Amino acid sequence: MTRYILLAGAAALTLSIPAAAEKGGKGEGKGGGKPAAAQVDRHGGGHGRAAKPDKSQHRAAKPDKSDRHVARADRPVDRVSGDRGRSGKVDRRAHGQAAVRGPDRIDDRRLSDRRRDWSPSRGDVQRIAAWDRNCPPGLAKKHNGCMPPGLAKNRFGVGDRVDRTIYSSYRLPAGYQSLYYDTQAYYYRYDNAGNLYRVDSRSNMVSGLIPLLGSSFVVGQRIPAGFASYNVPVQYRDTYYDSNDSWYRYGDDAIYQVNPQSGTIESIVALLTGDLSVGQPLPAGYDVYNLPLDYRDDYVDDQDYMYRYADGGIYQVDAKTQIIKAIVEMLV
Amino acid sequence: MKKPLTILLVCLALTACEREAGGNEAANAGAQASDAKPAKEKIGAALADSADHRTLSQALEISGLEATLSADQPYTLFAPTDAAFAKLPSGGAPNLLRPENKAQLVDLLRGHIVPGLVTASDLAGAIERGKGEAKLATVSGSTLVLTRDGGSTLLAGPGGSSARVVGDERLQSNGAIHAVDGVLLPK
| B64 inside 8 A of chain A by CB | yes
CA A257 centroid distance within chain: 21
Report the C-alpha gap between A207 and A190 in whole angstroms. Answer: 14
Q: Which residues have CB under 8 Å from B116's CB, separation 6+?
A: A290, A291, A292, A308, A309, A310, B74, B75, B76, B175
Which residue would you say has higher pLDDT here, A124 or A204?
A204
pLDDT for A226-264, tens place per residue? Answer: 677 899 999 999 999 999 999 999 988 899 999 999 989
Rounded to an integer, what is the distance from CA A292 to the centroid of its chain? 43
Please, which residues have CB within 8 angstroms of residue A152's CB and are 6 or more apart in sequence?
A: A144, A193
Say which DSSP state A222 is in. B
Considering chain B, what is the average pLDDT of its residues? 84
pLDDT above 90 (res A306): yes
Which residues lie below 8 Å from residue B3, measured CB to CB, with a gap of 6+? none
Q: Where is average pLDDT lowest: A10-19, A139-148, A211-220?
A: A10-19
- The predicted structure's pLDDT at residue A208: 74
Residue of A nearest to B109 (CA): A271
* Chain B: residue whose CA lies nearest to A219: B64
Collapsing DSSP to helix, strand or coil, A6 comes out as: helix
Least CB-CB distance to B100: which of A198, A254, A257?
A198
Q: pLDDT tens-digit profile of A164-195?
A: 666 555 667 666 677 777 888 888 887 766 67
* Measured distance CA(A164)–CA(B55) in Å, rounded: 37
d(CA A23, CA A37): 14
3-state secondary structure B29-51: HCCCCCCCCCCCCCHHHHHHHCC
Percentage of residues in chain B having pLDDT higher than 90: 65
Q: In this predicted structure, what is the pLDDT of residue B135? A: 97
Question: Which has the higher per-residue pLDDT, B118 or B6?
Answer: B118
Give the nearest chain B residue to A330 (CA atoms).
B73
Q: Cα distance from B173 to chain A (closest Cα, Å)?
A: 9
| Mean pLDDT computed over every residue of chain A | 65
Comparing B111 with A183, which gets the higher pLDDT? B111
Of the two residues B21 and A193, the one the predictor is more confident about is A193
Q: In what order do the strands lie in the sheet with A195-200?
A: A186-190, A195-200, A206-211
pLDDT attached to residue A166: 60
Q: Do A329 and A295 form a contact (C-beta atoms < 8 A)?
A: yes
* CB A26, CB A32: distance < 8 Å: yes
| pLDDT at A60 (0 to 100) | 40
pLDDT for residue A94: 37
Contact A188, A206 (CB under 8 A): no
For residue A24, what pLDDT is reported? 36
Of B11 and B141, the structure prediction assigns the larger pLDDT to B141
Q: HSE on the CB side for A209, CA within 13 Å? A: 16
Cα–Cα distance for residue pair B110/A254, rounded to 1 Å = 10
Chain A touched by B135 (CB under 8 Å) = yes
Distance CA B85, CA B97 (A): 11
The answer to whether B71 contacts A284, with C-beta atoms less than 8 Å apart, is no
Range among A106-120, B8-22, B25-39 rated most confident: B25-39
Q: Do B28 and A301 touch (CB under 8 A)?
A: yes
Residue A222: pLDDT above 90?
no
Is A289's CB within 8 Å of B30's CB? yes
**Interval A195-217 mean pLDDT:** 73
Residue A44's nearest CA partner among A14, A13, A80 is A14
pLDDT digit string, tens, across residues B26-68: 444 444 555 678 899 999 999 999 999 999 999 999 999 999 9
**Contact with chain B for residue A266, Cβ under 8 A:** yes
pLDDT, greater one: B34 or A57:
B34
Crossing angle (nearest 10°) for helices A84-95 and A97-115? 160
Q: What is the mean pLDDT of residues B68-89?
A: 95
Q: Is pLDDT at B151 greater than 50 in this prediction?
A: yes
CB atoms A292 and B117 under 8 Å: yes
> Left, alpha or beta for B172 (phi > 0: left; psi -120 to 50: alpha)?
beta
Q: How far is A165 from chain B (nearest CA, A)?
A: 24
CB contact under 8 Å between A273 and B139, yes or no, is yes
Q: How far apart are CA A98 and CA B87, in angstroms?
A: 69
Quote the pLDDT of residue A45. 37
Indicate the length of chain A as a whole number.
Answer: 332
Contact check, Cβ <8 Å, A270/B116: no
Q: B25 burial class (0-12, 13-18, 19+ CB within 10 angstroms)? A: middle
Q: Which residue of A has its CA nearest to B137?
A: A285
φ and ψ at residue B179, rounded to 5 degrees: -70, 140
C-alpha B145/C-alpha B157 separation (Å) is 7
Determine the average pLDDT of the residues in A92-110: 38
Find the DSSP H helices in B1-145: 2-29, 43-49, 54-63, 82-86, 92-96, 102-110, 120-129
DSSP structure string for A62-113: -HHHHHHHHHHHHSGGGGGSS-HHHHHHHHHHHH-HHHHHHHHHHHHHHHHH
Q: What is the pLDDT of residue A18?
A: 39
pTM of the shown model:
0.58
Q: Is the pLDDT of residue A56 over 60?
A: no
CA distance A151 to chain B (A): 23
Q: Is A269's pLDDT higher than 90? A: yes
Subunit contact A290:B122, Cβ cutoff 8 A:
yes
| DSSP assignment string, A170-203 | -PPPGGGTTTS---SSEEEEE-SSSEEEEEETTT
pLDDT digits (tens, 9 = 90+) for A117-134: 444 455 545 554 444 445
Average pLDDT of the residues in A81-86 = 36
Residues in chain A within 8 Å Cβ distance of B72: 239, 332
Question: How far is the C-alpha of A119 from the C-alpha of A105, rounded, in Å?
Answer: 20
- Predicted confidence at residue A197, as pLDDT, reads 79
Tell me the chain A residues in contact with residue B118 when contact means C-beta distances shorter than 8 Å. Answer: 288-290
pLDDT exceeds 70 at position A26: no
Which A residues 208-247 touch B at CB under 8 Å? 208-211, 216, 218-220, 239
B chain contacts of residue A303, beta-carbon cutoff 8 Å? 25
Phi-psi region of A240 (alpha: psi -120 to 50; beta: other; left: phi over 0): beta
Q: Say yes or no: A297 contacts chain B, CB-CB below 8 A.
A: yes
